[in-house]
Amino acid sequence: MVPYILAAGLLLGGLATMNPRTMVRAASRQVRGIAHRGPQDKPQHVITWTVEGTENMAKVKTAVTRTQTPITGALKLYNQRTSGDAETCGPTWGIAIGAGNVLLFASRVYYDWDNMMYAWVVPYIDSPMAWSMIPEAQDPSFAEGEVGYMYGIADSNQTVGPMGTWPSPVLVKLASGVSTLTLNYSMQFGCQRLYRNRTSTPSTGRDASPVYAKETTVADEWVDVDHPWTYNVSFGAITWSGTQAWTELVPDEWGWWPFLAAPGGVQMFFCQHEGLEGKEYAEISAKVNGVGLDFTGGSKTYEEFTLSGDGDTVTLACDSNGSIASQSTWMVTSLWPLMVDFSGVSVKDRDGNSVNVRLSGGFKADPRYPETLDWSTTP
């Protein structure tokens, strides 16, 4: 079973009292491995619900590489006819899931009267929303009763991206009477190797090894394997795959494009507008290497809405009729490291002979290191 438990830690706050970049920096760096800058400043409110991963993988002496670990699941919207029409936002602004700097989103298309253009929002970390406009010459036309949704693959690393070729979003129209949308996804990219660093602090009077065990500490760190990386992402009808290419345009604009940051976890994003009591509006699921993350038993209530976990799925439901005063992005973060495969693990006696043992959790830190775990410092 994947070692994930729900709601082990909570980070709560709003833009009125703290900068969202500061509030969620630790979680987002682990998930994405990069810093972010939102494309637009608007008055918003961001709340994050962090699911801590158990720190056992590096200690179990296995799974020391992460190469294109498949992340799969679905984004689903329900009951999208309880409010709104082709020109006004419905109950849900949008939902998204991100890993590394790759973000998959599904968002309602509405008419922005301030800018006199159709628009949609992409919910993600910082700023909580990115506004995208459809040029007037490309205005979508909607038949009677139709509503539109834009879904796509985006580079959430607004510090340096987007760099390279990213796929165009897709507009899907729900016919009159249709209130649900399901988009399956699959992501595979990134390559990292686990290394262990040792730090020794000899007692007074000694300045070299050997040292006593109490004078030595070790820390494990995931390090990117050299680029280029291959990538393979599918989302709904969109397929995006290839190999990074070295690109040099002008000074300070060079690197392996498209820019990719190896995943350090998975983040789910929910941005709700309003709702009716008893209705479910959104659902996001996630499996890593074919094994579902476990959100069972976890829940968190924000205003009139509750996020609840069941197996590998988090669902957003409305507890009582109401709307959100400000456009809010609620996040559920499941952090790596994780272990889902014990294949290749062995235990040897002092003579180097394999010992027939059964492995089961939980696991504790051990100062010894395995043959498969390289040191990035000299042991």
Q: What does the angle CA 222 – CA 335 – CA 225 come to, to the nearest 5 degrees?
A: 25
- Report pTM: 0.74
What's the confidence (pLDDT) of residue 206?
A: 57
Residue-wise DSSP of 110-151: EEETTTTEEEEEEE-SSSSEEEEEE-GGG-----TT-EEEEE
User: pLDDT band at residue 348, thresholds of 50, 70 and 90?
Assistant: confident
- Write the pLDDT tens digit of every residue in 316-345: 999 999 998 777 789 998 887 555 455 556
Encode burial over 340-355: b for 16+ CB neighbours within 10 A, e otherwise.
Answer: beeeeeeeeeeeeeee
Question: What's the alpha-carbon Rg for the chain, to the nearest Å?
Answer: 23
Q: Please report the pLDDT score of residue 254 as a whole number.
A: 79
Please say whether the beta carbons of 354 and 335 come within 8 A.
Answer: no
Q: Are strands 45-51 and 328-335 parallel, antiparallel or unpaired?
A: parallel
Q: What tokens appear for 84 in the block?
A: 């709104």
Do residues 275 and 247 lie in contact, with contact meaning Cβ atoms separated by under 8 Å?
A: no
Q: Where does the pLDDT of residue 133 fall: very low under 50, low under 70, confident under 90, or very high at 90 and above?
A: confident
Quick check: 362 pLDDT over 50? no
For β-strands 354-355 and 280-285, DSSP reports them as unpaired
Contact 172, 181 (CB under 8 A): yes
On the question of pLDDT at 276 being above 90, the answer is yes
76-90 confidence digits (pLDDT tens):
999 999 998 989 889
Tell me the C-alpha to C-alpha distance, in Å, between residue 113 and each of 119, 132, 247, 365.
10, 14, 40, 58
**CA–CA separation, 215 vs 75, rounded Å?**
49
Amino acid at residue number 123 = P
What residue ranges do the domains of the chain occupy? 9-189+229-335
Look at 134-148, 242-256, 277-291 and tell me which has the smallest mean pLDDT. Answer: 242-256
pLDDT of residue 97 exceeding 70: yes
Which pLDDT band holds residue 177 (cuts at 50, 70, 90)?
A: very high
What is the C-alpha separation between 307 and 300, in angstroms, rounded? Answer: 5
Contact in structure between 56 and 1 (CB atoms under 8 Å)? no
The b-or-e profile of 217-234 (16+ CB within 10 A means b, else e) is ebebebeeeeeebebebb
pLDDT band of residue 199 (cuts 50, 70, 90) is confident
Q: CB under 8 Å to 356, separation ≥6 — which residues?
A: none
- Cβ(326)–Cβ(45) below 8 Å: yes
**Statement: residue 198 has pLDDT above 70:** yes
Above 60 in pLDDT, residue 53? no
Give 11 or 245, the one with higher predicted confidence: 245
